């Protein structure tokens, strides 16, 4: 519940960023460069005089958008391929799972880094590339559930009534086997946010002047000795957000599988 409350708060911040932020996140004012946190600038200013609080608030939009959309793409691909592999089995299962195994052989972050370096860094490319390289675990989860569900009596009854494979997958197998995928989705959003922050820190993520927690930290490392607040607050934003999604994921795992609850 604590993790869910933080996530709801973050979503509200992202939706009402123009109302919450007190300054234009891209407004440059050299005369106010590197001001420490104060009533006027809650989180201080950076080396260009931009308000850190406003930049973090707007960066929340980008982080959540990339997290949800990228993992949504991964979930769609993973659930589709995993359910097809589990239901039909045989050669189809073998081809899909071997392809997933090949994808898992590549270090995910370095694969994303390489692709982004080739096609160019922007928000759309980041979302798509993270999604296309993160579906394998979800495919394995839904496949395992489908392998169990396809032997149940209600599936046999559907087949006896003449239901098509597509109808059985969409109407029965996916809805009944989606629970572990939902848990993986929540954890995946946290991972996608960390990946985006890492890419932005390396200069291959969200590009200035758009604010991102990662590129705020990247810009702040040059003035770490005199402007510690430039790095501290976006770092805390990443920490709190990832912690919230992990707490929610742990809670959902306990709900869907009570045997895993810590006693």
pLDDT of residue 197: 94
Which whole number is the average pLDDT over 111-122? 86
Averaged pLDDT, 166-191:
92
What confidence tens digit (pLDDT) does each residue in 120-147 have? 888 898 999 999 999 999 999 999 999 9
Q: What is the largest CA-CA distance in the chain?
A: 77
Per-residue pLDDT of 82-97, as tens digits, reads 999 999 989 999 999 9
8 Å CB contact between 150 and 85: no
Average pLDDT, the chain: 91
pLDDT mean over 243-261:
84
What is the per-residue pLDDT for 258?
63
- Give the pTM: 0.89
- Of 189, 214, 198, 206, residue with least CA distance to 64: 189
- Could you give the CA distance from residue 168 to residue 152 in angstroms, rounded to a whole number? 12
Q: Is the pLDDT of residue 262 over 70?
A: no
Q: How far apart, in whole angstroms, are the C-alpha atoms of residue 216 and residue 238?
A: 11
Fold assignment, 2-7+60-213+233-260: MetI-like fold (1.10.3720)
Work out the average pLDDT over 30-47. Answer: 91
Q: What long-range pairs does 84-90 form, CB within 8 A, spacing at least 24?
A: 84/169, 85/139, 85/143, 85/146, 86/142, 86/143, 86/144, 86/145, 86/146, 86/147, 86/150, 86/173, 87/146, 87/150, 87/165, 87/168, 87/169, 87/173, 88/165, 89/147
- What mean pLDDT do residues 145-173 have? 90
List residues bridging with 51 in a β-sheet: 45
Give yes or no for residue 263 having a pLDDT over 60.
no
Query: Domains of the chain: which residue ranges?
Result: 2-7+60-213+233-260
């Amino acid at each position: 519940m604590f993790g869910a409350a933080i996530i709801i708060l973050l979503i509200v911040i992202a939706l009402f960023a123009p109302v919450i932020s007190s300054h234009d996140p891209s407004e440059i004012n050299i005369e106010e460069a590197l001001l420490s946190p104060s009533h006027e600038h809650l989180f201080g200013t950076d080396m260009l005089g931009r308000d850190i609080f406003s930049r973090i608030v707007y960066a929340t939009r980008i982080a959540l958008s990339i997290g949800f959309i990228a993992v949504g793409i991964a979930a769609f691909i993973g659930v589709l391929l995993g359910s097809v592999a589990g239901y039909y089995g045989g050669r189809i299962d073998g081809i899909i799972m071997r392809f997933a195994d090949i994808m898992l052989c590549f270090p995910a972050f370095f694969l994303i880094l390489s692709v982004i370096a080739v096609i160019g860094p922007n928000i759309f490319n980041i979302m798509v590339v993270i999604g296309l390289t993160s579906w394998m675990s979800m495919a394995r989860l839904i496949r395992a559930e489908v392998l169990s569900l396809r032997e149940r009596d209600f599936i046999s009854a559907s087949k006896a009534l003449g239901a098509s494979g597509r109808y059985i997958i969409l109407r029965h197998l996916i809805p009944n086997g989606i629970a572990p995928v939902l848990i993986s989705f929540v954890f995946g959003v946290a991972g996608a946010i960390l990946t985006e922050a890492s890419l932005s820190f390396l200069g291959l993520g969200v590009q200035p002047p758009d604010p991102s927690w990662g590129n705020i930290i990247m810009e702040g490392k040059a003035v770490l000795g005199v402007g510690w607040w430039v790095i501290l607050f976006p770092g805390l934003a990443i920490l709190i957000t990832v912690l919230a999604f992990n707490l929610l994921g742990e809670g959902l795992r306990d709900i869907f599988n009570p045997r895993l609850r810590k006693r």
